[in-house]
Structure 1
């Protein structure tokens, strides 16, 4: 099956946004409130939902392949998603707990971090964890669909949405991301029907985009990562949650539409190539963005920070991560399996 270049271009763009957002977050280094940074707020209102939408879109090909058994599907997802989640979590924890292990000769802090990695996946590469369990949910639905049809999606979706535990085991994030995944899946599955309506959908989304941008800029709560806002007013929470979904979907439709309309030029090709390494860059960039907090040559000058530091660091970190993956990790089958889930 031929790769969809538009998907790779969108992934390439999305992973640049991931790095850019982290550069702003860690680069602010207490000089600025990164959560009120306009670009940061805009990025965090849609970039990970965009990734989940793309994951759902591409998952259609996996579920269409009837040759794969359910056991094979789960095994493959454990290797490609949970293994990198765990390995990078261990590597990060070893760096953080280095002094305790070497000097104090204790593993207690390290063990606590590994425990918390599973209890609170947001402490690690949470997207891999969330995508694994959404894939498992999809597999369950797929099994039920053979006898019960589309009603299986509705039943399982409702069950998942009423599961308690909040932030434990990333359940709140799984519930938040689930709609983006399935909208991506059904977009691909019913592509022929949607393509007839695509012009209308694009026009509506483009018209709503300025409103979405305005709402995000004016309201910090619309781009918060934590989906369980602690508010007394349930109506406010429901409206806010609904707005978050609408804003994210508006961005997804606009970006997805733009990439489908782009002409193939050098920028298009570079982004498509970067998209092939999107999850590689996602897992590697964490180490570099956390280091940049120690660099503070701009002091409290927001202009230098925005116009010089942020773009330069985003380009530099993205390039370094790409080179590390392409020239080092992917050259070795063992490292590719361990660090990238055999991608």
Structure 2
């Protein structure tokens, strides 16, 4: 499942996360959202931790590189939608604009709310890289445990910190789990090669993932996790469940999974634009119908429409070398 040093199943998993993000933002039903939100964003942090490798760059250059990949799209997207917001008739307020960047996802950032992830993963990567450069293992471990524990306390207190630091501290634990899973991946892979054991593991993990319904709805964007133990347990079980499903499907050469790689490759574009496209569709189409059956059908169409429209935009941006920076390329 490797291609050009990429682990394709992880790309497929990230693509699924993007698809679930769109479905979650369209809001089919509370139970569907509760299941999706329990693992679809944690998935990105776990996968990022899994593929982490200590950088050979000087720390300052590493920060600049990550800023170019993550913060430039964050700023460009935020500025773009702020301009649209105020051009649409809202009064201009410098203080509000500043607060929208420091405390992401507040009004008017609901149009591009998913970009909170770019700020959070930037903070996580910088923290993890900095800690990993400390030579004394005991000091590294102490700092990691302290920061992750601090994240738990902040989440318990329902505190909201600037620059997604509150979310980043929780995500740091997920990132670390992904990193540790990479160290044991060879053992896991060998176990899966033994045939039908994969179906047994899938059943166990899927059952554990259902614990999300015993918890309140998770929203990493708002630093809301309910019971943190259930959040980690059900979230990780949900991720592993879909990883095993992809492992089985890959052995059967499922064509659909190949399409998910495109969503993964263009994940930043989808995070930047999906809620804006959804908002337009809701106003122009969905709001015209009150029937639940018709709305459900239209929401299915909305998923396909959103994926398709952004795919066209992503391909267009990808062909323009000057615009690639907008999507972190």
Same-fold status (TM-score > 0.5): yes
Aligned-residue offset at 1:208: 4.6
Q: Are the counterparts in 2 of residues 187 and 194 from structure 1 also a CA contact under 8 Å?
A: no
| 1:148 pairs with one of 104, 111, 136 | 136
Q: Are the counterparts in 2 of residues 53 and 184 from structure 1 also a CA contact under 8 Å?
A: yes
Map of 1:340 onto structure 2: 327
Map of 1:27 onto structure 2: none
Q: Are the counterparts in 2 of residues 80 and 340 from structure 1 also a CA contact under 8 Å?
A: yes
Map of 2:218 onto structure 1: 223
Matches within 5 A, 1:33-52: 37-52=30-45
1:173-213 alpha-carbon deviations (Å, 9 max, x no partner) = 11221221111122223422443566879745632523533
Q: Are the counterparts in 2 of residues 45 and 223 from structure 1 also a CA contact under 8 Å?
A: yes
Q: TM-score by structure 2 length?
A: 0.83
| 1:118 pairs with one of 94, 97, 102 | 102
1:133-177 alpha-carbon deviations (Å, 9 max, x no partner) = 000111111111xx2126513423313532669212122211221
Q: Are the counterparts in 1 of residues 20 and 40 from structure 2 also a CA contact under 8 Å?
A: yes
Q: Distance in 1 between matches of 2:292 and 2:133?
A: 53
| 1:74 pairs with one of 53, 63, 66 | 63
Q: TM-score by structure 1 length?
A: 0.80
Q: Distance in 2 between matches of 1:150 and 1:320?
A: 50
Q: Distance in 2 between matches of 1:280 and 1:120?
A: 17
Q: Does 1:59 align with 2:47?
A: no
Matches within 5 A, 1:58-207: 58-60=51-53, 63=54, 65-66=55-56, 68-100=57-89, 107-108=92-93, 111-121=95-105, 123=109, 124=113, 125-144=115-134, 147-149=135-137, 151-159=139-147, 161-162=149-150, 166-169=159-162, 170-196=164-190, 203=200, 206-207=203-204
Q: Are the counterparts in 1 of residues 59 and 130 from structure 2 also a CA contact under 8 Å?
A: no
Aligned-residue offset at 1:6: 1.0
Matches within 5 A, 1:13-52: 13-24=16-27, 37-52=30-45
Q: Are the counterparts in 1 of residues 82 and 97 from structure 2 also a CA contact under 8 Å?
A: yes
Q: Distance in 2 between matches of 1:269 and 1:218?
A: 34
Name the CA shift for 1:78/1:121 in 2 (closer, same or farther; >3 Å): farther
Higher relative contact order, structure no. (Cα contacts within 8 Å, ≥ 6 residues apart): 1
SS in 1 for 2:69: helix
Aligned-residue offset at 1:322: 1.1
Task: Report how many residues are paired.
Answer: 307
Map of 2:229 onto structure 1: 242
Aligned-residue offset at 1:216: 3.5
Name the CA shift for 1:302/1:100 in 2 (closer, same or farther; >3 Å): closer
Map of 1:31 onto structure 2: none
Q: Are the counterparts in 2 of residues 329 and 336 from structure 1 also a CA contact under 8 Å?
A: yes
SS in 1 for 2:301: helix
Map of 1:301 onto structure 2: 291
Q: Does 1:258 align with 2:245?
A: yes
Unpaired stretches in structure 1, ≥5 consecutive residues: 25-33, 230-236
Name the CA shift for 1:329/1:299 in 2 (closer, same or farther; >3 Å): same
Q: Are the counterparts in 2 of residues 90 and 114 from structure 1 also a CA contact under 8 Å?
A: no
Q: Does 1:314 align with 2:303?
A: yes
Unpaired stretches in structure 2, ≥5 consecutive residues: none
1:3-22 alpha-carbon deviations (Å, 9 max, x no partner) = 22111111111111111111
